[in-house]
Amino acid sequence: MTVAPFTDFKNMETRTDVIAPAPIMRKRRLRQNSAFRSLVRENHLSAADFILPIFVEEEASERTPISSLPGIYRETEKTLANAVKEAADGGVKAVILFGVSHHKDACGTDSLHGDGLFARMINRARQASPETLVIADLCFCEYTDHGHCGPLTDKGDVNNDATLENLMIQARVAAEAGAGMVAPSGMMDGMVAAIREGLDDSGFTNIPIMSYATKFASCFYGPFRDAAGCGLGKGNRKTYQMDPANAREAIEEAMQDEAEGADILMVKPGMPYLDILARLRQETNLPLAVYQVSGEYAMIKAAAEKGMLNEQEAMMESLLAFKRAGADIILSYFALEAIKQIRDGYFENA
């Protein structure tokens, strides 16, 4: 109990001879209605936060639904234009493209040509909606016949430095095709420095690099590998993607990419790695992106389909968690649905 001057309003006098009760902190005061809740809300989502991933399959006659990602399609090169326009109309400012190749080889050479699927889809998206930022995912797993993220050594492991040489070319091809940003996802050592050099040497000094800086060897990519048709022939990605057990190493990985010149750092997957995101927020002043990957999306969709979760609420809560943990940018298959929720007044009514 604290002794405090006490105003007795009934008798209009100030008394110091009584002990006023200690103020009870009632956290519920600011939760009592949506007006208070919106005044004190610390984090929000907005349309500008999102990047929408889009899959593009070559030589397909019509867009096909992806069974492991309900609501998401493999677009054809023709329907891609529509998909990008629809995204823009829905408020999406940026898209990231993934190719489903029918011309695979040991090195992923199709993605190194100005007329391969990789370049064509960037170009088409760019033409469809010039104001949309088209981001190129730089990797080879969608274009190699073995499914790994670069050419292999004799022992069957990904050849790091040979992959860097190819990434320099792939980055230039992306920029020439009209990509506004490149996003290397292969977890090769030195990839950011190599790509920066490749871009700068070909005059693309203004193209930023959003590095998949800390990408874990995760089972949550399962549905993506179906979607992009890039399952592994042999082995796994544990020799290049990170061990899910390691947090300190994740920070080291990200700081290395910052030192090499990355403009944006990404953490991937999202929900199981919020601790990494929050920690990284303390370590860097660069913008941070997070990828809510295919398995995270599929889990929410599947639980909702079974009536176990409210899909819209689970979606918004999971996305908001990324902002709370420190993300500036969210890559999510939910981008369009989330923007719709936001526009329909989600935060006003929350």
Catalytic residues: 215, 268
Angle at 205 between CA 149 and CA 87, to 5 degrees: 65
| Token duo for residue 157 | 């492991």
CB of residue 206 to ligand PBG, shortest distance in Å = 24
Backbone angles phi, psi at 194, to 5 degrees: -65, -45
- For ligand PBG, the closer of residues 215 and 346 by Cβ is 215
| Token duo for residue 334 | 């939910």
Give the x/- contact pattern for ligand PBG in 113-142, rule: CB under 6 A: ------------------------x-x-x-
- For ligand PBG, the closer of residues 178 and 222 by Cβ is 222
How many residues in the chain? 350
- For ligand PBG, the closer of residues 58 and 137 by Cβ is 137
CB of residue 74 to ligand PBG, shortest distance in Å = 14
Nearest Cα to 170, choosing from 189, 198, 133, 200? 198
**Pairing state between β 13-15 and 6-8:** antiparallel
- For ligand PBG, the closer of residues 149 and 342 by Cβ is 149
- For ligand PBG, the closer of residues 173 and 346 by Cβ is 173
Give the x/- contact pattern for ligand PBG in 210-229, rule: CB under 6 A: -----------x--xx----
| DSSP designation for 241 | S
Q: Is 185 in the site for ligand PBG (CB under 6 A)?
A: yes
Angle at 231 between CA 233 and CA 104, to 5 degrees: 75
Residue given tokens 């599929």 in the structure block: 298
CB of residue 262 to ligand PBG, shortest distance in Å = 16
Among 294, 318, 332, 341, binds ligand PBG (CB under 6 A): 294
Cα 36 from Cα 52, distance rounded (Å): 32
Beta bridge partners of 54: 97
CB atoms within 10 A of CB 22: 9
CB atoms within 10 A of CB 327: 27
- For ligand PBG, the closer of residues 110 and 137 by Cβ is 137
CB of residue 348 to ligand PBG, shortest distance in Å = 31
Angle at 72 between CA 317 and CA 74, to 5 degrees: 150
CB of residue 2 to ligand PBG, shortest distance in Å = 55
CB of residue 236 to ligand PBG, shortest distance in Å = 10
Among 293, 315, 327, 330, binds ligand PBG (CB under 6 A): 293
Q: Which residue is nearest to ligand PBG (CB)?
A: 224
Residues numbered 307 to 326 that lie near ligand PBG (CB under 6 A) are none
Q: How many residues bind ligand PBG (CB under 6 A)?
A: 9
Beta strands in the chain (DSSP E): 6-8, 13-15, 50-57, 64-65, 73-75, 94-100, 133-138, 181-184, 210-215, 264-268, 288-292, 329-332
Q: Which residues bind ligand PBG (CB under 6 A)?
A: 137, 139, 141, 185, 221, 224-225, 293-294
